[in-house]
Amino acid sequence: MDQPGHYMNQRRLRANAHVRELAATVTVSHKEMIQPLFVEENLPERVENRHMTGVFSDTISSVVTQIAADMQQGIHKFLLFPIPAARHEIHFDFSFAAEVVQTIKNAFGDSVWLAADLCLCSYTNSGHCGILDAAGKKLLNAETVNVLANYALQLARAGADCIAPSDMTDGRIGAIRRALDEAGFDEVAIMSYSSKFSSNFYGPFRDVCKSSPNQQNSLKDRKTYQIDPRNPLDAMASSLRDASEGADFLMVKPGLPYLDIIAALSQRTDKPIAVYHVSGEYAAIELLAKESLVEAKSAHIETWIAFKRAGATVIITYAARWAKQWLG
Ligand code: PBG
């Protein structure tokens, strides 16, 4: 069996950098990436995330500096997470979020493409993604969708290029699309967090956004509205439904544990699929790198390749701002 010719030589295509480049069928570019941004109201000065090197909570003025620096790195597409100072049960004030969007679009105009995350988890006292009933046991779907559609309108008026609903209520995409169209914002895109799983990997994000479900007597987790990891059929149905309601982009989130969902969905839709490499996945690479067990750069690149191989067209990653430099 060891004689030449008795086995298929697969190593000829691995033999050197040139031939590996020729044989590769998957490419990654910073141009397909979106950089998340956190902007917190009443923050005295920007602070680096405890768990994610190089990821900051910005003030409304430091975010402008951050974006200018990111543009120097070839990054022009952003996903904004506004963190308001005040929290409420039912009455929410979206003016800080609108102010951030307006500030960014006034400073950069169409040289940036700005998507705004749309969720109530940084607004509610409970830390849940929508309005709960009086007992705190049930997410009220219709009430939440109404508030979200109104929130989306305010973000569109402020100049957002895209609305990215991450709350996981039913019917929100249709309601938001209708509200936007009726107000003349038919060119504002919707990127739906359409296959968003109830995941263990959102920890560092919730730390930053103060959005963990936090109340003793209310729903203790997001399992009644986010997708069960054991239910790929739900992930498929939810994404296809959101596409039919008018989502321009679909999304799978988190990333690496759900490559099968990306692959299956890409066979079933003609919408571009975004994947979100979430905070806990980013922090996992950071922790390995701290122990010198991986090189962060190579681990991120390998991850991005996996996303592309599975069928994603858009990658949302906290490391987008280094992608151009890293990819060379
Ligand atoms: C808000 C939201 C979450 C993330 C994005 N939007 C957290 C959650 O659903 O609890 C997670 C992003 C990350 O972990 O990087 N609904």
**pLDDT score of 67 more than 70:** yes
> What's the rounded mean pLDDT across residues 294-318?
98
Compute the mean pLDDT over every residue in the chain, rounded to the nearest whole number.
95
Band of pLDDT at residue 210, cut at 50, 70 and 90:
confident
Nearest CA residue ID for atom 12, ligand 1: 278
Nearest CA residue ID for atom 2, ligand 1: 166
Contact 147, 186 (CB under 8 A): no
Cα 90 to middle of ligand 1, angstroms: 21
Instruction: Give a three-class secondary structure readout of the chain.
Output: CCCCCCCCCCHHHHCCHHHHHHHCCCCCCHHHEEEEEEEECCCCCCEECCCCCCCEEECCCHHHHHHHHHHHCCCCEEEEEEECCCCECCCCCCHHHHHHHHHHHHHHHHHCEEEEEECCCCCECCCCCCCECCCCCCECHHHHHHHHHHHHHHHHHHCCCEEEECCCCCCHHHHHHHHHHHCCCCCCEEECCCEEECCCCCHHHHHHHCCCCCCCCCCCCCCCCCECCCCHHHHHHHHHHHHHHCCCEEEEECCHHHHHHHHHHHHHCCCCEEEECCHHHHHHHHHHHHCCCCCHHHHHHHHHHHHHHHCCCEEECCCHHHHHHHHC
Cα 206 to middle of ligand 1, angstroms: 7
> What's the rounded mean pLDDT across residues 104-117?
98
Cα 12 to middle of ligand 1, angstroms: 44
The preferred substitution site among 121, 124, 169, 318 for testing ligand 1, maximizing ligand atoms within 8 Å of CB, is 121
Contact 10, 20 (CB under 8 A): no
Ramachandran class of 61: left when φ > 0, alpha when ψ lies in -120 to 50, beta otherwise: alpha
d(CA 74, CA 308): 20
Q: Give the global pTM.
A: 0.96
Cα 294 to middle of ligand 1, angstroms: 25
Tens-place pLDDT, residues 127-169 = 999 999 999 999 999 999 999 999 999 999 999 999 999 999 9
**pLDDT score of 265 more than 70:** yes
d(CA 114, CA 97): 12
Band of pLDDT at residue 319, cut at 50, 70 and 90:
very high
Q: Which of 137, 138, 223, 253 is catalytic?
A: 253
User: Which of ligand 1's atoms lies nearest the C-alpha of 278?
Assistant: 15
Band of pLDDT at residue 7, cut at 50, 70 and 90:
confident
* Known catalytic residue at 210: no
User: Which of ligand 1's atoms lies nearest the C-alpha of 202?
Assistant: 14
**pLDDT score of 218 more than 90:** no
Residues lining ligand 1, CB < 6 A? 117, 119, 121, 129, 166, 202, 205-206, 211, 278-279
Cα 189 to middle of ligand 1, angstroms: 20
Q: How many CB atoms lie within 10 A of CB 176?
A: 28
Token match 């910073």: residue? 30
Q: Which of 77, 137, 138, 196 is catalytic?
A: 196
**pLDDT score of 46 more than 70:** yes
